[in-house]
Structure 1
């Protein structure tokens, strides 16, 4: 009996060892979906996840941080970044006076106060508007210039004014009108949404306009900060078919590495389908062409298909998402580029936040932005092991401006994609990912595979509150794809 017992125990031990070996071998054969070796993620932007809607802070301005920011304009001076924005509030009439926020890191924002406490008599009499819209701010002649809009809703009775200050936080002195428009005048432009841009020779220009007539650019007198020719509305650089095709909120930036000027505008309606588009030109006065060589001045039925979409309404898993993602600002600081924009929480479409996104550049010189809000990330080298795992991805189609929900995709070893033999992925550079997605519904004369050239960067996952990798880039048609790696719990 003792011998038999020993034999049984020995056999059982061998069996356990074999099963353990099989399990260990099986585990070793499984892809490591959480392999982030070599990657440095940004720190959490707050101790706890930030609520998209928080009615507790409604009347506590010092706690507003990014809440109630609309039509922001951004500037860096010394060690601080400042955002000036439209008079905006949810649940109560906004207090007039152009809101001011500041930060040292583009992450942690504090509310500073307001410029003015009422619209000027001239602006009020011209427009009947009693709040400020869409400011812009620059530094010139050793002082700061603030440009602002006052407008009558739905009409061309609009006014762009200017103020100056020796300090970015004020006090500000109103210097009166820069340009104004009115129903029945001899102009085409609507005098709202100014942005001031310096060309590569240091000459300042004002780009402005909206639905009414399109977007114009006019030269600024560097000594006064006002138009060089006050009676001239300038040069038309972007226009859509009619009032049913929204266009507004222009900004321009210059990239010396590509020697292009990049125009950004916002299309559609600010509460839901708002989205940011871009085009570029070798000349600041245009013409501006998008990725598909379409002129941004297009009053035909095809004007819905102009502009390369950079940001649109979206929803990742574990979040209701954001819409009204438009009216952007642009910033270059120490060789880094950023885009800010409004974003309205799907839980309450009137609750608007400031979103800051890092811009990265495609190999052919186009800006694309991170799918996640900025948290201090930098571009880094990634490995194939870092890429393997489950991802969410969001396509930003040019033809559909509704909220786009994420879909799942699993990237496996050796460039394979789960359940899809006709699709593949490949690292082509330090943080360059080529993703080829088979499209079974493609028309016979179009691409059967959409090939996306993507930048992979570390980021903070605001929806799941952890560090992760994201990608952003375009396909051969200039359609942007966003992606985010899912952390396996």
Structure 2
């Protein structure tokens, strides 16, 4: 016999058994169970059946610890993401949450996981308490420097910015930052040092399976024992390298490198042993430049000769012949934005898209990757930086960071402390630079985009850098006669390469994707673009 089943959803697995009822017999005879998986459907069906994420960006109602099973990407700060051998993406983060509710759960470096980058399961802490090695190591260094022993409050340490990488299917490494409280030599002197430590796990699905491997590296100073630098002497702070914000990469040649640093001088790179994950032969973390050479090489600096960099949070990846160094710029609240530079070599020189040598000469990194912004119909997003960049193993790349709401949303003066995890798709330009999509990832089917779909009204955002400014969208129209009306491109011609999914407006190439329109009510799918014109990045979305 044959049967036809109608009304089935696309891309869905069904479990089926046939049965027969025998006349005048109450028994039923069943076939073995079998499965079928429906196809994706036609392009029209795929988009028609799309269901957008339901997350509430103003998540105060579920911010508390008791609602953590509903958080999804609420309460995310400084995320690091890795795709594991089990097919899950695992995300770990700085100890931060709205109202510090994570403290109720105990432990540090909380994690979550997802199969689709949209729906996330909260996993809890990976580190139960302050590692036993931290205070003894701090006092070992202080004693060698001739300083009094410290007795810090165990509850005053900071737990910041982990990075997680898969070394093999059976080994995952998490480098983490521990920031020590107080100051080097009493009130009014420079802040105490930080440490980078290491944990390992054979299977991240076991969130309690992270084993601490101890000390990796600490702050290094080229100022010897002249540690009485005033706490507000920003440009001449005591440390050359600040041991926070680790990034970790295994190069194309198989070498293991730790890239780290924040504000003080810039970003350093140090080679680590593949077996232990730690640098070899570290000397004292003070002295001259020659004395502290084992602590790494400066690979990025925003301003030569100024220790107050306003840059931090390095992330490093390798793609198509280049090492890409992503950087967080400016202060956390509103100004936070992301930049990227690249090099053929892990230790530089790292150049911007405008040719600036940010390793040897210093300078602002371009292009801008993310910037505070606002589309119509939403409060807008600020504080979008300190990113993770990762791929799915199938050629698709993603950008993850926190995003903050502005101050004063719904009369809430603490709304800027609402930190939501943002995941966005990346496309790579013809010249090899990453552009991050303006809308958050929503698993929209990447159905081919036809030229006629582009005709109509759009919102365009010029992400040209402006400190502490949320860049707002301007309406433009792509006309049927291939001209543009409105905004900075008014009167320009446009054309479209459907195979490459590149919209060209004037001389600017804009890279298209289908994505979720998070500002629409109700949310739905739309078309978005991102592109770079020299040092200026553009974001846009089609209005439906």
User: Same-fold call, TM > 0.5?
Assistant: yes
The 10-residue stretch of structure 1 (321-330 or 338-347) with the greater mean CA deviation from structure 2: 338-347
Aligned ranges for residues 191-340 of structure 1 at < 5 Å? 191-231=243-283, 232-241=294-303, 242=306, 244-255=308-319, 258-297=320-359, 303=363, 305-334=364-393, 335-340=395-400
Residues 1:51 and 2:57 are matched in the alignment: yes
Match of 1:480 in 2: 537
Match of 2:462 in 1: 395
Other structure's SS at 1:381 match: coil
Match of 1:18 in 2: none
Residues 1:147 and 2:185 are matched in the alignment: no
User: Would you say the 8 A contact 2:366–2:535 is kept in 1?
Assistant: no
1:373-411 Cα distance to aligned partner (Å, 9 max, x none): 111246553222111010001111135452111111011
Distance (whole Å) between structure 2 residues aligned to residue 272 and residue 298 of structure 1: 30
Structure 1 residues 398 and 388 mapped into 2: Cα distance closer, same or farther (>3 Å)? Answer: same
Distance (whole Å) between structure 2 residues aligned to residue 324 and residue 467 of structure 1: 25
Aligned match of 1:365 in 414, 421, 432?
432
Between Structure 1 and Structure 2, how many residues are aligned? 431
1:186-243 Cα distance to aligned partner (Å, 9 max, x none): 5621001111111112221111001012101111101111113434111111112235
Structure 1 residues 417 and 307 mapped into 2: Cα distance closer, same or farther (>3 Å)? Answer: closer
Distance (whole Å) between structure 2 residues aligned to residue 432 and residue 93 of structure 1: 44
Structure 1 residues 115 and 42 mapped into 2: Cα distance closer, same or farther (>3 Å)? Answer: farther
Structure 1 residues 466 and 226 mapped into 2: Cα distance closer, same or farther (>3 Å)? Answer: same
Distance (whole Å) between structure 1 residues aligned to residue 211 and residue 470 of structure 2: 42
Q: Report how far residue 166 of structure 1 moved.
A: 2.2
Residues 1:76 and 2:83 are matched in the alignment: yes
Q: Report how far residue 336 of structure 1 moved.
A: 1.0
The 10-residue stretch of structure 1 (355-364 or 122-131) with the greater mean CA deviation from structure 2: 122-131
Distance (whole Å) between structure 2 residues aligned to residue 374 and residue 238 of structure 1: 30
Please list every run of 5 or more consecutive structure 1 residues that lacks an aligned counterpart in the other structure: 1-35, 437-450
User: Would you say the 8 A contact 2:76–2:96 is kept in 1?
Assistant: yes
CA RMSD between the two structures: 2.4
1:400-445 Cα distance to aligned partner (Å, 9 max, x none): 4521111110111121122676322111342111112xxxxxxxxx
Q: Report how far residue 452 of structure 1 moved.
A: 1.6
Residues 1:458 and 2:518 are matched in the alignment: no
Aligned match of 2:164 in 126, 137, 145?
137
Residues 1:158 and 2:194 are matched in the alignment: yes
Distance (whole Å) between structure 2 residues aligned to residue 295 and residue 377 of structure 1: 38
User: Would you say the 8 A contact 1:193–1:210 is kept in 2?
Assistant: yes
Structure 1 residues 421 and 131 mapped into 2: Cα distance closer, same or farther (>3 Å)? Answer: closer
User: Would you say the 8 A contact 2:459–2:542 is kept in 1?
Assistant: yes
Structure 1 residues 425 and 229 mapped into 2: Cα distance closer, same or farther (>3 Å)? Answer: farther
Structure 1 residues 51 and 251 mapped into 2: Cα distance closer, same or farther (>3 Å)? Answer: closer
Q: Report how far residue 355 of structure 1 moved.
A: 0.3
Structure 1 residues 340 and 426 mapped into 2: Cα distance closer, same or farther (>3 Å)? Answer: same
Match of 2:6 in 1: none
Structure 1 residues 307 and 152 mapped into 2: Cα distance closer, same or farther (>3 Å)? Answer: farther
The 10-residue stretch of structure 1 (177-186 or 84-93) with the greater mean CA deviation from structure 2: 177-186
1:10-56 Cα distance to aligned partner (Å, 9 max, x none): xxxxxxxxxxxxxxxxxxxxxxxxxx97984783343x452333233
Other structure's SS at 1:373 match: coil
User: Would you say the 8 A contact 1:100–1:112 is kept in 2?
Assistant: yes
Match of 1:385 in 2: 452
User: Would you say the 8 A contact 2:328–2:387 is kept in 1?
Assistant: yes
The 10-residue stretch of structure 1 (411-420 or 342-351) with the greater mean CA deviation from structure 2: 411-420
Distance (whole Å) between structure 2 residues aligned to residue 66 and residue 375 of structure 1: 13
Aligned match of 1:122 in 117, 124, 133?
133
Other structure's SS at 1:329 match: strand
Other structure's SS at 1:202 match: coil
Distance (whole Å) between structure 2 residues aligned to residue 353 and residue 468 of structure 1: 22
Higher relative contact order (CA 8 A, sep 6+): 1
Distance (whole Å) between structure 2 residues aligned to residue 313 and residue 394 of structure 1: 10
Distance (whole Å) between structure 1 residues aligned to residue 279 and residue 374 of structure 2: 42
Structure 1 residues 82 and 42 mapped into 2: Cα distance closer, same or farther (>3 Å)? Answer: farther
User: Would you say the 8 A contact 1:118–1:131 is kept in 2?
Assistant: no
Distance (whole Å) between structure 2 residues aligned to residue 421 and residue 483 of structure 1: 15
Q: Report how far residue 138 of structure 1 moved.
A: 2.0
